[in-house]
Amino acid sequence: MPAKDRYHDRLKNALVKNQWLITDEQVKLKIGDRRLWIDLEAEHRTERTLILVEVKEMVSASQVDDLANSVGQYLMYRVALENKNIHIPLYMAVSTITFRGILAEEIGQLMIDRFSISLIVFDPESEVITEWRP
């Protein structure tokens, strides 16, 4: 099982504040001999909506590499979910710093639009969700 992302617990807290119940962590998907791990599964307490969430940060020295790796992983998870006939929406959760950084740039916007990436933007300091896209 992979290590938690830096903001994993802060995102969990933000989701709970927004009436989400964390139903699973490190959700395993098996494709052939390979195991994939999606960070969180959550269910909205009143709407009974189920989502999967992958937490990503893109703040290293090479944010372009971070973006490529994050989008690649997100798309791989989406393909794996489709392959398993699992129809739970997948979100990429990013901090406000990442959202205002490379994701606000033209390359980030092109990737979000081209691959229809659903985003949860959250403030890790206050542990609050600031935006859902779409």
Surface-to-core class of residue 15, CB atoms within 10 Å of its CB (0-12 exposed, 13-18 middle, 19+ buried): buried
> Residue 21 maps to which CATH number?
3.40.1350.10
**Inside any domain, residue 32:** yes
Domain assignment present for residue 70? The answer is no
Q: Is 115 contained in some domain?
A: no
Q: What is the pLDDT of residue 5?
A: 75
User: Does residue 112 lie in a domain region?
Assistant: no
If one counts the domains in the chain, the total is 1
Give the pLDDT score at 3: 65
Q: What pLDDT shows up at residue 59?
A: 81
Range of the domain at 13: 1-63+85-103+120-134
pLDDT at 1: 64
List, as one string, the DSSP characters of the chain: -PPPPTTHHHHHHHHHHTTEEEEEEEEEEEETTEEEEEEEEEEETTT--EEEEEEE---SS-HHHHHHHHHHHHHHHHHHHHHTT----EEEEEEHHHHHTGGGSHHHHHHHHHTT--EEEEETTTTEEEEEE-
- Per the domain annotation, does 114 fall within a domain? no
In a domain, 72, yes or no: no
The verdict on residue 30 lying in a domain is yes
* Percent of the chain topping pLDDT 90: 90
Q: Is 109 inside any structural domain?
A: no
Q: Write the pLDDT tens digit of every residue in 45-55.
A: 999 899 999 99
Rounded to the nearest integer, the mean pLDDT of the chain is: 95
Position 75 pLDDT exceeds 80: yes
